Amino acid sequence: MTPDGWALIEDVCKLLRMDRTALATAVEHNDKARLQVDGARIRACQGHSNAGMPVTREALENSWRRVHPVEELWHGTNLTVLDAILREGLHPGRRTHVHLAPARNSHVGRRSRVDVLLGIDPARLGQPVFEAPNGVLLVRTVPAAAISEVLKADAVHGPDWSGR
């Protein structure tokens, strides 16, 4: 795997014990377009793990498009972590970047189980924002001071909304 997340399709098929047709089907039917194919290479568009991977933040950022949003960005989360997020901000945990959505009703950059939507003021991020090929916006962290709004998800989408 390269520092920007690319691996040979042949190697991925061997590792996963699947043929190229099955992998192509998985890429085509992925609900959030998480996988990107370029010739004989494949990678996750975003959501890279740090654990045991040669992927670097810098290489990923150089492969994504830098954007300059002016409208509020969004992050879906659950109530169990809300107090900590409001104190400490958002951190990527075991991933390289925090995922954000460009709009409140967007299906990208969201967890499947969302209780709360956090509005993020891009002017208060103090760092670059990147867009992955599938539309997910990515930043290294979100300082608590950049959180400008907290909304209950069902107030925005209704109680049956899943974030997908």
Q: What is the DSSP string of 7-57?
A: EEHHHHHHHHT--HHHHHHHHHH-TT--EEEETTEEEESS--B-TT----H
Of 70-79, 85-94, 104-113, 126-135, the one with minimum mean pLDDT is 104-113
Same domain membership, residue 36 and residue 99: no
Same domain membership, residue 107 and residue 38: no
Same domain membership, residue 149 and residue 72: yes
Q: Is residue 146 part of a domain?
A: yes
Other C-beta atoms within 10 Å of 154: how many? 13
* Beta-strand pair 137-139/41-44: unpaired
* Average pLDDT score over residue span 3-26: 93
Q: How many CA atoms lie within 13 A of 133 on its CB side?
A: 13
Q: What values do phi and psi take at 30, rounded to 5?
A: -65, 125
Q: Is residue 2 part of a domain?
A: no
Same domain membership, residue 101 and residue 37: no
Write out the two tokens for 111: 């967890």
Write out the two tokens for 29: 């039917």
* Average pLDDT score over residue span 11-38: 89
What domain range includes position 27? 7-64
Model pTM score: 0.84
Residue 159: which residues within 8 A CB-CB, separation 6 or more? Answer: none
Average pLDDT, the chain: 87
Which residue carries 């809300």 as its tokens? 82
Q: Is residue 164 part of a domain?
A: no
* Average pLDDT score over residue span 59-64: 94
Same domain membership, residue 126 and residue 94: yes
Query: Rounded distance, CA 103 to CA 139, Å?
Result: 16
Is the pLDDT confidence value at 78 over 90?
Answer: no
Is the pLDDT confidence value at 76 over 80?
Answer: yes
